[in-house]
Structure 1
């Protein structure tokens, strides 16, 4: 059974927006590319969408892509946690593919990488403190 439907300790899911782990939310919805959103973030998003217009949305996007140093520093922790989740999912997915007999060339092609670069990325993800 898929680890998305039946998470293991290595693949426990959490909301990609607020980082709340699956056991502590009422509902966690899986999206494309290994992202998840909890019911609370869905509700908050719906409220924001209902209360803001296109001009507010454009300002918000502009502020996101050109943050102050203070805002950028505040985001770093979340970005690092997200990167770690992605690395864990990447290692897990490639491991499952290898266990199923998929060869390195096919996996690398699907990842848009050459075999050597993919293996180096996986090594860094599995052993982050040794690089």
Structure 2
């Protein structure tokens, strides 16, 4: 069973509206960390990044450990089969939002490169696809 959604503070509601305006689409009811998939209700803080990407305080701490060169704990990875169905359903919106943002960003990069007359072959090489596939996907 999913957790009841706590009432948002005025500041949280304002931040949510600001993020929605910035990305040009509504946010899912429940947000998730784009890195570990944890629900906003199970973390202390969830920080909005560019283009609808979010990171939780635990992932920020892990990043800090990596940057500082401290040893890292073993990461078991995300195991969807072990997650309750309700949590997976809630996660779909957040994952779709991040996916859309990445797709839009990639399209913008390709458009910029093509504007600079970078060849489809060079772009395709970086994407690990054929020149034809890159052209069909991004032209």
Structure with the larger RCO, 1 or 2 (CA within 8 Å, 6+ apart): 2
Greater share of helix: 1
